[in-house]
A and B are shown apart, each in its own frame.
Chain A
Amino acid sequence: MDKIFTKNIEHESAIKHVTGKAIYTDDITEPKNLLHAVIGYSNCSKGIIKKINYDEVYKSEGVVDIITEKDIEGINDVGPIFKGDKIFTSKYIEYYGQPIFAVVAKTNNLAKKAALKVKIDIKKTKPIVSVEEALKKKSFVLKPKYLKRGNIKDGFKKSKNILKGKLYSGGQDHFYLEGQISMTIPQEDNNFLVYSSTQHPSETQQIIGKVLNQNFNSIHVMVRRIGGGFGGKETQSFLFAAITSIAAKKLSRPVKLRVDRDDDMIMTGKRHDFLFNYEVGFNNEGEIQALKLMMASRCGISADLSGAINDRAIYHIDNAYFIPNIEINSYRCKTNTVSNTAFRGFGGPQGMFCIENIIENISQKLNKDSSEIRKINFYKEKNRNTTHYGMKINDNVIEDIFNKLIKKSNFKKRKLKIKNFNKNNKILKKGIAITPVKFGISFTTTHLNQGGALVHIYTDGSIHLNHGGIEMGQGLMTKLALVASNEFGLNYESINVSSTDTEKVPNTSASAASATTDINGAAIVNAINKIKSGLDQFIYDYFKTNSKIRYENNFVYFDKRKISFKELINTAYLNRIPLSSSGFYKTDKINVDNKTLQGRPFLYFAYGAAVTEVIIDKLTGENKILQVDIIHDVGNSINKRIDIGQIEGGYIQGLGWLTTEEVSWKSDGILTTHSPSTYKIPTAGETPFKFNVEIYDRGFNKEKVINRSKAVGEPPFMLAISSFIAIKDAVYNANNNKDSNNLIAPATAENILKSLN
């Protein structure tokens, strides 16, 4: 039975947030004897270390020790799936920001001061920095992948029109407001307690175990909340947790590593930038017949999660469109830059960016309203409903959302108004676009789709809830406490969510892929059902009834009786009934062939659409978002306030990716944008005051996901593609309806100006 969540409560930590009482890793009361580590890293992107002189470092005030590769008892690697992410290098420099050593000192400031005093003699060699260079030199971190469906030759033969082109989408720094941080506290018997700002405590535990050459059961990782993650703490946090643990073990003292913002931006991976070469065939109505695509991404020095990210880019190249004949070559380029990593959308945004640009180019070529071209190409219900990876779509609502949004946003009228505006304005030009989102939910690595929970009822009837997910602002704890309160029929206030803890729920997956509520919520329900079945049996026996039992309003109802939940629990306890259980869940139905990429990688899809209106200045390229209208499908929401927050925040983060945020590498592989003074995420001024969000009123998950809700973490990010396409439309208008082919992402003022004829 599907439950309805009626309480629209605020974020579980909201009051703690606004009073400064929410505790992040750096706010935890520091243990006695705490030392601070700071990493010393390479200042060039490729070379061989000839000599390192630590004399001045050792002499520096407050220094206790220097940690290097030699101090690692286990493996010198924090790579998550594939190896290749060294903790410290001792010989070969492979990217700018590669850790070489760590200084441990009395304070963070003294450690950093000391680290800056090292003298390293490096023989520099020529790095590979750009995707183009890597392609030319066939420098890859993983083998290229190839996907095909249909017959591309026939497709092109049938096509009345063919367009060829090149597209580029830029990288993106996560810029979580809380930087990377870890603190390790030694316990007895070489056990270690680790507080880490991570999206993945279990893998943190496993990696520390391997690095220290100890069993996993000797490492205990705890996370109450993190100050933003967005994928940047899915694997990138491991390095810092490993280093504090190596140092804590060596020195038998607690060690904290809080990474300076610049160092953080230099040493951690970002969103993959992508290069696309496409050839598309289509008929005069704009219906796509064939697509030939080369896609290549900058993965940086190692594989990290790049395999799955590039796979997801392939899986989302269709967005919401049926492409009958398609051929994709996907290259995962190895460059001498920090290893790129997960970032909200995980390759999906890049794939969708590509197809939305192609569709816009088709409509400009045919001189037709691109919203019509989009509709023509949508997946349909009866036929044209199978993706290029062979998955049949059975929950398609895109056309309904799209039509509703066109109506609600007054799209057609506004388009006409813009036409008039552009006629009357020489310098300023407006543009508008509507784009759809169809995003697949599940980890594409099948085994990760499992969740765990631990639920205790104490004798006063209060509930302690634990599960595998991480609270990073997305409201996970709030939603899951609602799930538990709903299952027990208790006040939300009776549920106490606690730190995510590897000793309570083991072997969890990262809080990622938007699926954290889905899998952990289901595991919680499983745990609660186990407790309830024991309680039910107890009620049958003790109260001699076989009536249906209901848990509601803090009471338990059976026959015509009701007793308070508290009383039931206390009675059950006295009769030695178990009041605690673990829970488990795995996502069914999904499977995929890793080589051909055919199968069903996703349990379901989340849908949405956005309209964005922009204005640009032909003389400077300056631009402003004027209005945004969104309808987004969250299924049957568990908490609308939290879901709306994800939609709004996701859009603006996506807007940053596509407009102001530019990751800039010099040709020698040095990153020049490593602080908020040079790397510009949106401020309040970028956010339009006209920002209308509506949750899709017919939202319902056809799959048996908790409350029939849908994942909402990543999908709204891609609504922001409409901002780029709107700018593209404005550029097209400014170019007298010739084209907008030269616009690349991010659409900074400079890139906009470059795209004007």
Chain B
Amino acid sequence: MLNSKIELVLNNKLISIKNLDTNITVLNFLRNEKNLTGTKEGCASGDCGACTAVVGELKKNKIEYKSINTCITFLYTLNGKQLVTIEYLGNRSLHPVQKAMVESDGSQCGFCTPGIVMSMYCMYENKVKSTNDNIDKYLSGNLCRCTGYIPIKKSIRNMYNYKKNKSDQKNIISLLKNIKRNDIMIQNNESRFFVHYNLKGLIKDYQKNNNSYLLVGGTDLALEVTKKRNSLKNIFYLGSNKDLNFINIKKNKIHIGSATPISDIIPKLDKIYPTFSQMFERYGSEQIRNSASLGGNIGSASPIGDSLPVLIALNSQIVIQGKKQRTVSLDDYFVSYRKTKLKKNELIKEIIIPINKKNILKCYKISKRIDDDISSVFMAINANIKNNTFKSIKIVCGGMAEIPKIAKSTQEYLLNKKFNQENINEAKNIIAQEFTPIDDMRASKEYRMKISQNLLERFLNEQNRLNTVVY
């Protein structure tokens, strides 16, 4: 029997919801249903952070906090979680992050401020050190047009100097513990919203329903609702499914559940593939990384999804679950623009990444803005170099074609060749023949072409230990 309501802790009160539209976003719920207008709409596409709130989840008797963009988060994803909004912070007296913001003049027009305060709150409650890198990282999804961020950064540096008020975390933990985590189906007119906690139940219901959408972070899917104004009929939320949320590191393989948030993956990858994990720090914004998943990236198959070239370069496989399970190499998975080999009523269960510590992995992302921007060109290189010779090499580009694409001729040319200027020069000529990129608002085709060539040059320069990166 599926539950027909969700329960969550809104700030410090347990609430249950069942009758609202299955497509409703957290932002619209807060503003229109609860009259909590402190959370603002800036863009309704997850790019500006004015709507930032924090989601708390029980992990080993403690609450772990994550910032989210409420404008692109569906309300029914919140079963069993705490939703913290700006109204909670100023409740009795100012929270340390608020005091710091006031005293460092972190607000001007004030419209982005609640979102920024919530990002800071998340940092504060998770006790993240306020290093320069962390400050930029935690602010990456919050746009401010007035202050230039300088006083906001200052207030983050100062926030730990302020004493915290008494917290009611114990109560909240006990409230959260009492919420049932059974599979859920919300029905509203003809539309349904499913939440499953294990794979078995999910597969059963997913096979039964047509017109279905798989949802994890919704960083892409939600725009169908908030921008194109479509109604999504059946939504299957995978973010709470324990069978899809895991990272297991085995001897020579990493297994990642398809719905595992990127921000959970980053620290685990750090020791194995540091360049991959560093790349993820420029993947979307903090809020996006907290929601988005590899499964989503692969499933939506966008040619500019940054994880895809890297996963392909690393010879990753994906486990596809339908009525049966099958394992597919990512090399052959992408067919044409946003078309893949995933069949109807199938879903991606996990991603398997081989561990090869002898190889060099490079992840080059070029975009207009360093943080929270979509690549104009992305290049991943996975190479085994012995005696300055390529024993194996794989080069995969994003943003250069309608799918993430392997530079086959280029890598074939370089195989068993010396890693030197002469061969890289030739490789640059070859790669120019392999791609016919397009012009758009992010970059011209000429620039894309030139960059794909120059990133090969960067690869060589890094090998020669030259300084190559500005940020």
Contacts and interface: CB of A to CB of B under 8 A. Distances in A.
Interface in A21-69: 21-24, 26-27
Contacts of A650: 148
B371 interface: yes
23 contacts: A11-B108, A18-B114, A19-B86, A112-B229, A178-B109, A227-B40, A261-B48, A427-B466, A427-B467, A474-B108, A619-B457, A645-B108, A648-B148, A649-B145, A651-B148, A673-B441, A676-B47, A678-B441, A683-B142, A684-B142, A687-B148, A749-B368, A754-B447
Contact of B145 (A177, A225, A749): A177
B108 A620 contact: no
Given A619-B468, A662-B441, A689 B132 contact: yes
B42 A261 contact: yes
What bracket does the count of chain A residues touching chain B fall in?
35 or more
List 3 tightest A-B contacts by C-beta distance, closest first: A20-B38, A473-B109, A652-B148
B45 A227 contact: no
Contacts, number: 266
Contact of A18 (B37, B113, B447): B113
Nearest to A428: B467
A660 B368 contact: yes
A426 interface: yes
A11 B105 contact: yes
B202 interface: no
A258 B41 CA distance: 10
Given A18-B90, A649-B146, A684 B461 contact: no
Given A680-B369, A681-B143, A683-B371, A17 B110 contact: yes
A258 B229 CA distance: 15
Contacts of A681: 143, 145
Interface residues of B, number: 85
A662 B40 CA distance: 26
A680 B443 CA distance: 13
B155 to A, nearest CB: 9
B109 A684 contact: no
Nearest to A258: B41
Interface in B330-388: 366-374, 376
Given A15-B102, A19-B98, A672-B441, A428 B470 contact: yes
A21 B368 contact: no
A14 interface: yes
**Which of A14, A662, A754 is the most central at the interface, judged by chain B CB atoms within 10 Å of its CB?**
A14
Interface stretch (B75-83, B133-141, B162-170): B133-141
Contacts of B44: 260-261
Interface of A: 10-11, 13-24, 26-27, 109, 112-113, 116, 174-179, 225-228, 230, 258, 260-262, 425-428, 472-475, 615-617, 619-620, 622-624, 641-642, 644-645, 648-653, 655, 660, 662, 664, 672-673, 675-678, 680-687, 689, 691, 748-750, 753-754
B23 to A, nearest CB: 9
Contacts of B145: 174-177, 228, 230, 649, 653, 681
Contact of B90 (A19, A649, A676): A19
Given A19-B86, A689-B132, A24 B40 contact: yes
Interface in B86-134: 86-87, 89-90, 94, 97-98, 101-103, 105-114, 117, 132
Interface in B13-56: 28, 31, 36-45, 47-48, 50
Contacts of B177: none
Contact of B38 (A19, A112, A177): A19
A14 B101 contact: yes
A672 B442 CA distance: 10
A551 to B, nearest CB: 29
Contact of B149 (A27, A473, A660, A687): A687
Interface of B: 28, 31, 36-45, 47-48, 50, 85-87, 89-90, 94, 97-98, 101-103, 105-114, 117, 132, 135-136, 139-140, 142-153, 227, 229, 366-374, 376, 440-444, 447, 450-451, 454-455, 457-458, 461, 466-471
B143 A177 contact: yes
Contact of B135 (A19, A624, A662, A684): A684
Contacts of B31: 26
A686 B369 contact: yes
A511 B111 CA distance: 18
Contacts of B38: 19-21
Given A226-B109, A427-B461, A649-B148, 8 more contacts: A18-B106, A26-B41, A177-B109, A624-B471, A684-B135, A685-B136, A687-B150, A750-B376
A616 B117 CA distance: 33
Contact of A27 (B28, B37, B109, B142): B37
B89 A617 contact: no
B370 A686 contact: yes
Contact of A677 (B47, B101, B103, B470): B47
